[in-house]
Chain A
Amino acid sequence: MQRVPLLLALASLIPTGALAAPLSTKLLPQNALVQCSPTAPCTQPTVDGAVPALEYADGKMFPLQDYMNGGPNGDLFLYVSDNAAYTWDECNVGGPQAAGIPFIQTNPCHSQSLFIGMRLPVPKDASGNFLNPSGIVTLWLDAKRDDTLNLVATASKPRDEDRRIMFRYSTGPGATTGISQSKGDGTNGWIPLAAPTEAWTTTAQVMIPAWDLDHVHIEFEIKLAPGLSAGVASEPLLSAVRKLGLGIIHAPASVSGATQMVGGGRFPNAKDVPPFDLFTETWETLEFKEPAPIPLSFTMWNVGQMPDATFWVNDGGSGEIDTVARKIFRKEVACISEIWMSYERGELIEKVNKLRADEGLPPMQAITELNDNTFQLATESTGLVLLSSRQILEGGVHHFPSHMCTSDDCLQDKGVIWARIATPAATAPVLFNDHDTLRVAAGTDYAEFVDVFCTHVNAGENTPGPDTDAREDQLFDIKAYAQQVRRGGPLNANSFPYLLGDNDIFPRGTWPGGMDRPAFLLGDMNTLGPKHTQADTSFPRYQDMVGPSFLDISGRTEFEKANTLFSEKRDLARTSSGADPLATGTWLSSACADTVADELGARDRIDYVLVFPPEDTTEFPAFALLKEPTASVSPHFDPDSLVLLGFPGQLFKQCLSDHAMVDVTVNLARVKDVAKYNPAKEHRIEYSVKQVTDLETASGCCADWFSPRVMMRANGVTRENTYLNVMEDQTIYPNWFVHTGPDNIIPFPDLPAAFSGTVNMTSEIWEADTGPNDHYDSIPEGGAGTTLDEKDAHFSFSANSGVLRRVKGETLANDWLTEVELLGSFLDGYENGISLETQGQDTSTGNNARVRHFFNVKELESP
């Protein structure tokens, strides 16, 4: 059986004949005319053998995986310079732009070049000493890529314009290197170049840097040749084409005394389809264009729905839950603040989803606090609702420690809500070739997410005093919470700087980290901020907020210093993308006129969409933001409103809220490709229940969830975990898990390298009731049946093929092998796991739940 899975970025981009299409990646060449200037110089790799990642910051990073031998992964960096020539003062000038880049750099920079950097693991002996590696790097270059992609008959074989470059190296005493280049013969092989002038000028260096002794670094510069006639020669940077076929294999040589051969790797990185010497279709297509954008939009709106039970407070706007719902139900990710009553938060979610159902849209998922606790004050909540039309993979609610407040704010439990949102790339169709039949895998790619935080901080003055002190404490707390979340938890930790709040709601255990990508903070920060080009210095509390003492988002990361392609914005709604860039004020008043939209430039700005950048390291992040995000601010004037305000009262019109709505659209781009499943390695297997939603009733609050069984059977060992402490809400994010590994009380070993068996998993979803507890149905099959197979989702992972399936059940041994749904193959990626929603359809009891399952195959460190 040959499986040729194809990961396609977006459904709309599936090309005709996709089954045969080579893998493709977008790589925008660095353009000296556009990206580089004396005031903002670019960085280009210097081919000195050392490969610090940030030399390639205007390129892209890929893993190098050795599917034959296992061992630690290597890194591959690709960078291309465009046609425009560089002047001496706009690139590699003035010293390194970022940490790790060598001080001596090529100047002026080279145009029309492909730079390839490789960092390959070094073998060790039995005592752990590094040995001197050697090996061969083979590069294949398909110069007229469009011919190959257009299935021109002769283009499937290497032709005269194509090149193969072989680089042999050894290290240590007597180290040698040698490079050779050949061209295709148009039929079935490679032949020597007829003359040296036919060569694509190539430079190669190899070294083991003193600062990275466990890797051998290899670096190439290959001059692309766009100036030659397109009819006979290469075309990579011709404006009409801008493509190159590229294949790379690093074959390590055997090293005497090594415990294991390591360092093999390939590009494209596909286990079952390596780049073949004579088949150009098996090489990857580099498209010289902007990275594929992953669009996301965020909405921040304080809707001022004040409490009605403990005391009455004027709403400040004419909006009601249904009018608010009508304004937000088509949004993508929305942070709604100041809905203090649990039943109004619940009603908002219902209304939004009713409106969406009327338009045939799937329901939004939500994170908020819903409860039916009679004795809990209505205001003891964050008052926040985070809604997402994208899947929410994880979520939690954090309250600021109770001393961080002043005045009326101490009657509330303000805090921050977290949602891990699946981006559009997470649900883009992945086609799977199953016995020459293309099937769409149903799983959500957990690697494609962003963390979103929604907050509302202490109100009050902006002049230094108790209000600003409390607010700054909260800002520090937000930062600590966000860090804890983005590092993968756990959130039950209570050690400075992260402090557990009262009644916090959080998933158990840990989850994949997210420090390698931007995160977003949406909130009413109650802090006056600058608009457009207004000086930060005029807003000292804002400076404090974004500065290093609190949110710490104002500095440039090392990656940003070296990169010229991506956005460095942190405050995304500071400038309006509309006619008036200053129209970003959000703090309105209880009275609005129909001219309010024209007054935003004069209004204060206290509602924000901010960016936490990826962790500041000398390595690549996984994602960055394309230039430049757009923003708009909408006050939502209500012409039908009429309110009597003041004493003596005067009549005014109102906006729906005394805050304007902030909308921001960003485009993420992946700059570091994902690692894939490598059966030659040891793996830790994890299954968990990430989300449970009650579908039993059309309304109401709240289900009391528990699970008596989260089960995994692997390599002859069965592990069952129970989670009997009830979690109350309509939707919970419990992370009820079971996994292999050493932290199980009863040994449950990880999967050994080359394990070829299956791993089976299931879970039961129950609700505690006043009568008998209810076993909820969480799968569409089974109807009103009562057996485990008829209520619970069952999954089976084949370690040999990397394929994860939902299967029939567990009654018969064969049921574990009977596929119900194909989730995907880890050979296609799914670096952080596969997620899947299942939904019950028991029409007899109506005890149905929508459940988000999660499965991950986590590569362990090399032996």
Chain B
Amino acid sequence: MSTMNLKCAVLALVLGGTAQAVEPMVPYDNFNPTEPNPARATKVRGIDPARWVDHETGTRLESARELAFTRLRLMSRSDTPGAGSFGLLFSHSSAVTAIAAKVRLNNARTTGYTAPGAPAAESTAELTGHFFNTRTGVPSKNQQDDVIAAIRIVSRSTDPVGSQLLRVEALIERCTNASCSTRAQLFAADLGQVHQGEQAALRVQWDVANHRFVFQRDAQPEVYGAYTVTDTFPPASPNKALVVTHNPPTYLSGAPAPLGYANAYFHDVFVNESAAPAP
């Protein structure tokens, strides 16, 4: 194989994507303002406001959203139930149908007493977005029936205490209320374990023609999350984002206070071609 062919093959592998139905992936931001990919007409200091919008829901004890040399760093620490998510939205989220990035959850901890039968508390680093809505006529701010897809690295309160093992997961959910604070799961897949501090290349891509999402971790085989709901209507919230999230357990009086901590790094962000940023 010639050098050029090898490079093309490597490039195809990096960009990923299913062959027939989805747009090719293109660079969106490598979080390296000195040598940006894609190139910019002018260099920027810090996070590029033309490409990203700050995003935060809930409250937290401590947080950081910053360029860390050649990566984006998102850090959040919270002991508050309903801590929500913290990160960056794509500035033109509506055009984004696919997100890929290298993600490293450098440190995460999720503790707290979980009531019997209640889901475990979670801290995550995610590539996520609202991709469509299952019904028409949704008021613009009512996110009910928005369908969310995410690929994420997860720490859970049910993990062994002190464990440095995290999980990589793919997830499709439907919002069940207007604020999307409650959701119904449409699809979930475990993409394997990852250590704290271990980098994973993640991709989530809406394959609308085949009514499914495509998930991929590193060079592992693609995982397809098929759904049967209607996918022809735009979401109420067009947000696509890189975030860290906390979902602490319901705090039970007398139990130790819950804690969610996530310190994550993102870089080499790609999106579908039609969402490519302006130079």
> A and B: partners?
yes
Which residues of A does B touch, CB under 8 Å?
306, 308-309, 312, 314-315, 320-322, 342-347, 349-351, 370, 372, 642-645, 649, 651-652, 694, 696-703, 730, 770-771, 846
Picked from B34, B162, B197, B263, the residue with its CB within 8 Å of the CB of A315 is B197
In whole angstroms, how far apart are the Cα atoms of A649 and B107 in the complex?
19
B162's contact among A308, A321, A322, A644, by CB below 8 Å, is which? A644
Measured CB to CB, the nearest residue on chain B to A370 is B69
Assess whether B69 is in contact with A699, with CB atoms less than 8 Å apart. Answer: yes
Decide if B164 touches A701 in the complex (CB within 8 Å). no
Instruction: Select the stretch in B40-48, B220-228, B236-244, B248-256 that faces chain A.
Output: B40-48
Min distance, Cβ B53 to any Cβ of chain A, angstroms: 18
Please name all residues of chain A whose beta carbon is closer than 8 Å to the beta carbon of B39 when the two chains form the complex: 770-771
A360 to chain B, nearest CB (A): 20
Given that A697-B43, A698-B46, A702-B34 are known contacts, is A314 also in contact with B164, CB under 8 Å in the complex? yes
Interface centre among B109, B199, B267 (most CB of A within 10 A): B199
Residues of B within 8 A of A322 (CB): 64
B12: min CB distance to chain A, Å: 16
Q: Does B67 contact A (CB under 8 A)?
A: yes
- B106 interfacial by beta-carbon distance below 8 Å: yes
Supply 13 further A-B pairs (C-beta < 8 A) apart from A343-B69, A697-B44: A306-B197, A308-B198, A312-B197, A342-B70, A343-B68, A372-B35, A644-B164, A645-B162, A699-B46, A700-B31, A700-B70, A703-B34, A771-B39
When the two chains form their complex, are residues B197 and A700 in contact, meaning their CB atoms are under 8 A apart?
no
Main DSSP-derived SS at the B contact region:
loop
Flag whether B71 is at the interface (Cβ < 8 A): yes
Do residues A701 and B199 form an inter-chain contact, with CB atoms below 8 A? no
Instruction: Give the number of residue pairs across the A-B interface with Cβ within 8 Å.
Output: 103
Closest-CB distance, A853 to chain B (whole angstroms): 23
A149, B199: Cα distance in complex, Å: 68
Query: Nearest residue in B to A372 (C-beta to C-beta)?
Result: B35
On chain B, the residues within 8 Å of A643 by CB distance are 162, 164
| A321-B68, A696-B34 as given contacts; A642 in contact with B195, CB under 8 Å | no
Whether A308 lies near B164 (C-beta < 8 A) is no
| Band of interface residues on B | 20 to 34
Interface residues of B in 92-111 (CB under 8 A from A): 104, 106-107, 109
What chain A residues lie within 8 Å of B263 (beta carbons)?
320
Known contacts A343-B68, A702-B35; A644 and B197 CB within 8 A of each other: no
> Quick one: given A312-B195, A312-B198, are A350 and B69 in contact (CB under 8 Å)?
yes
Q: Are B199 and A308 in contact (CB under 8 A)?
A: yes
Of B32, B43, B69, B109, the residue contacting A696 (CB under 8 A) is: B43
Q: Contact: A699 with B104, CB < 8 Å?
A: no
Nearest-Cβ distance from residue B126 to partner chain A, whole angstroms: 19
Interface string of B165-209 (1 = CB under 8 A from A): 000000000000000000000000000000101110000000000
**Across-interface contacts of B35 in A (CB, < 8 A):** 372, 700-702
> Is there a chain A Cβ closer than 8 Å to B160's Cβ?
yes
Cα of A846 to Cα of B35 in the assembled complex, Å: 15
Closest to B34 in A: A700
The answer on a CB contact under 8 Å between A697 and B34 is: yes
**Is B158 an interface residue when CB atoms closer than 8 A count as contact?**
no
* Residues from chain B with Cβ under 8 Å of A315 in the complex: 197
B163 within 8 A of A: yes
In angstroms, Cα B119 to Cα A163, docked, is 95
**A694-B35 Cα distance, complex, nearest whole Å:** 12
- Shortest beta-carbon distance, B258 to chain A, in Å? 15
- Closest-CB distance, A744 to chain B (whole angstroms): 35
Interface residues of B (CB under 8 A from A): 31-36, 39, 43-46, 64, 67-71, 73, 104, 106-107, 109, 160-164, 195, 197-199, 263, 265, 267
Quick check: B69 and A346 within 8 Å, CB to CB?
Answer: yes
Q: Which residues of B contact A702 (CB under 8 A)?
A: 34-35
How far apart are the CA atoms of A815 and B240 in the complex, in Å? Answer: 57
Whole-angstrom CA separation of A251 from B243 in the bound complex: 80
Contact A649 B163 (CB under 8 A): yes
Contact status B162-A642, CB under 8 Å? yes
Are A343 and B71 touching (Cβ within 8 A)?
yes
Chain B residue nearest to A309 in the complex (CB): B199
Contact indicator A308/B197 (Cβ below 8 Å): yes
Task: Name the residue of chain A whose CB is nearest to the CB of B67.
Answer: A699
A700 and B162 contact, CB distance less than 8 A: no
B69 with A347: CB separation less than 8 A: yes
A320 near B164 (CB under 8 angstroms)? no
B34 and A350 form a contact (CB under 8 A): no
Query: Is the Cβ of A846 less than 8 Å from the Cβ of B161?
Result: no
Contacts of B106 in A (CB 8 A): 320
> By the criterion CB–CB under 8 Å, are A698 and B33 in contact?
yes
Of A306, A350, A642, A652, which is within 8 A of B68 by CB? A350
| Inter-subunit contact A652/B197 (CB<8 Å) | no
Q: In the assembly, what is the distance between CA of A836 and CA of B163, in Å?
A: 51
Which residues of A have CB within 8 Å of B46? 698-699
Q: How near does chain A come to B22, taking the closest CB pair, in angstroms? A: 24
Please give, as numbers and ranges, the residues of chain B lying within 8 Å of A645 by CB-CB distance: 162
Question: Is there contact, CB below 8 Å, between B198 and A343?
Answer: no
